[in-house]
Amino acid sequence: MNCDGGAPSGLPPTSGERCPSAQNQAAGCAASGLRGGQFRRLVALVIACVLVVTVAGGATLQYLQTRMVAQAGENLALAAVDIAGKLDLLMMDRYGDIQMMARSETFHCCDAAAMADELAWMRMVYPLYEWLGITDSGGRIVASTDPASIGNDRSGQEWFRISKDRGVISVGDAQPSEESHGVIAVAFTAPIGGMRNEFLGTITSRVALPVLEDVFVETVTALQAQWGTDVRIEYQFVNREGEVIADSLLREERRVNLKQMGLPSAKLFDA
């Protein structure tokens, strides 16, 4: 018997008489090899696509992160500039106030009651003043918004000596004082001159730091609204020595020195 009745049994089939099953096996092997090669190429292509997408995605995320950090830094820098501008304006207004009051006729006379009334009116109109007072030429307080301070000797205070010895307006650093009842405040002091430019005494005021801090809060609130509630903005107000004099979170005023801690931002004062 042959495979399909052609050749006698026992004789090898000729090249044209190969068994169909052998041909089918050869074709199947060829097709299987082809499919195997295509599958490997497809897997390699998928892996390559995944790698490309992963690398591209990582690069995109890195760019977005860098850009977001840079944008946040730019916004904070603009906020700092805005705060500095508002503080400068507020300080210049108080500088103008003390200069104007030093020229007032009320403070050139010896009527302590009239001077006290004028100071009380000034504090009522401008609540940002923590305290106002008048000293005589010897440094003794003769009128004040706080009657308890009347009679106190301030001749040894730096703000008095500067105004008396140099004849100029003195603006002190933000620090606690007896006049502000321990509250951190900025002192403005101007000399009071007589008709012949003789030194009659000084007029001095204290602007409490919480009033200045309100300038921070206004700008920070606007920035907070822009960034949303998921972001919490904190701030610190630092003097030239690196001391924290306003802290929105930990309230570590006068207890932390950022320069001594080595913070780069605090060292910008020395740049």
Q: What's the confidence (pLDDT) of residue 5? A: 47
Report the SS3 class of residue 77. Answer: helix
Q: Is the dihedral of CA 187, 188, 192, 198 positive or negative?
A: positive
The answer to which of 11-15, 95-99, 105-109, 227-231 has the lowest mean pLDDT is 11-15
Q: What's the confidence (pLDDT) of residue 179? A: 87
Query: Considering only CA atoms, which of 201, 170, 208 is closest in space to residue 186?
Result: 208
Q: Which residues contact 99 (CB under 8 A, 6 or more apart)?
A: 169, 190
Looking at residues 53-71, what average pLDDT do you find? 68
Query: Considering only CA atoms, which of 28, 22, 235, 208 is closest in space to residue 129?
Result: 208
Give, in degrees to the nearest 5, the angle at Cα 178 between 173 and 180. Answer: 70
Looking at residues 190-197, what average pLDDT do you find? 90
What pTM value is reported for the model? 0.68
Of the CA atoms within 13 Å of residue 91, those in its CB half-sphere come to: 19
Looking at residues 175-182, what average pLDDT do you find? 85
The answer to which of 69-78, 129-138, 193-202, 259-268 has the lowest mean pLDDT is 69-78
pLDDT interval class at 165 (50, 70, 90)? very high
Residue 19 has pLDDT above 60, yes or no: no
Q: What's the confidence (pLDDT) of residue 37? A: 65
Which DSSP state fits 249? S
Looking at residues 108-135, what average pLDDT do you find? 92
Q: What's the confidence (pLDDT) of residue 72? A: 63
Looking at residues 153-179, what average pLDDT do you find? 92
Residue 207 has pLDDT above 70, yes or no: yes
